[in-house]
Homo-oligomer: A and B are copies of this chain.
Amino acid sequence: MDKIKVAILGATGIVGQRFIERLAEHPWFKIEYLASSPESKGKKFRDAVKWVLNPELPEDIADIALGGSKADDVPDNVDIVFSALPSSVALDVELELAKRGFTVISNSSPLRLEADIPLINPEVNYDHMNLIELQHKKRGWRGVIIKNPNCTTAILTLSLAPILNLTNIEYLTITTMQSISGAGLKGLPAYLIYDNIIPYIENEEYKVKNETLKILSKLHNHRLIKPRFKIYVTATRVPVLDSHLEVVYLKLLKEVSLDEIIHELGRFSSLPQRLNLPTAPSKPIILRTEIDRPQPRLDRCAGNGMSIVLGRVESLDEEENILRYVVLGNNTVRGAAGNSILIAELYLKYYLGVI
């Protein structure tokens, strides 16, 4: 087949670089268009980017001249637009692109909580893709906007999916330790975070709470029915380069044995695996039995960054059904670019059925 032409907006940032890394050799997609900030328009990508990933920047990508990142700038022959735009500018551009008829798959936060915008973590709520019909009806545009969740939520909800197959929960308490890359390539000054922890990330706790509830909702007649449990979130920034670690406590609604939970976590697999999507990890959840795992430096590349890694799964209180685990995921891959690409694959094969 001819490859599908994709654009990447926000291509020089850290998520943009992850898009390029994963699209450069993608079996279905071909990078057709790159854009970054207005100042870098016209420059060669190699001259505009501070490339920070370990695989070298592919030579053919390096030579692409950057286009503009306004909606009008994106050429018509592009099929899918991946957006890694900063939140401040994303909304207008993405809406305009959808009006122009593009399929926009976006890592930016605006619109994530809108009732007609699918917020997809592919293994968890692929069926929410069907909100697209509602979107078309309501917005009246030919295009599509699909969002991937914020990084912490992507990791969290994937870890919850198999457990919620066994029992509902009463409440969830989570403390996160989020890496530097989550603030963007140049978002966090070194002097502020080195030998330090910042126990606050703007808007993060709100996002984790509300995006989690949306993703875990049941879709019923094009409406999402939220689950009823409570979520208590504290988000912190720690001096680690990549991947977020999350300490999760659940009060389960009914008694489930630890063995059963571990069994369910270990065997978890979902539609992306069954469809054999190119970016789907063979094991979305990797369970470690060593007492001191997961660890960011050792586990951030698991499943090429698309698997989450769980450890320290313990029942802390059998009477009260308190379950605790620690989960780690690669924030710029599973929590951003990789997730977007997996959504694109899902959209084409599962929703449109064109591949």
Contact = CB atoms under 8 A, between A and B. Distances in A.
Interface in A320-355: 320, 322, 324, 326
A16 to B, nearest CB: 14
Contacts of A164: none
A12 to B, nearest CB: 13
A151 to B, nearest CB: 15
A206 to B, nearest CB: 12
Interface in A287-326: 291-298, 301, 311-312, 316-317, 320, 322, 324, 326
A46 to B, nearest CB: 10
A180 B190 contact: yes
A199 interface: yes
A52 B324 contact: no
Contacts of A295: 196-199
Given A232-B249, A247-B234, A326 B54 contact: no
A28 interface: no
A137 interface: no
Contacts of A50: 192
B197 A249 contact: no
A50 B188 CA distance: 13
A177 interface: yes
Nearest to A230: B317
Contact of A232 (B192, B241, B293, B322): B322
A149 B51 CA distance: 33
A117 to B, nearest CB: 27
Interface in A210-241: 230, 232, 234, 236, 238-241
A193 interface: yes
A243 to B, nearest CB: 9
Interface string A173-205: 101010011010111111111111111100000
A194 B181 CA distance: 11
Contacts of A14: 191
A23 interface: no
A252 to B, nearest CB: 13
A163 interface: no
B200 A191 contact: no
A245 interface: yes
Nearest to A320: B230
B232 A316 contact: yes
Nearest to A326: B199
Contacts of A293: 199
22 contacts: A14-B191, A52-B192, A175-B247, A180-B194, A188-B191, A189-B189, A189-B190, A190-B193, A190-B239, A195-B240, A198-B295, A199-B245, A199-B247, A199-B293, A199-B295, A199-B326, A200-B292, A232-B249, A232-B324, A236-B326, A238-B238, A239-B239
Given A181-B191, A199-B245, 11 more contacts: A52-B297, A171-B320, A186-B191, A188-B190, A190-B190, A194-B241, A199-B312, A234-B312, A234-B324, A234-B326, A236-B245
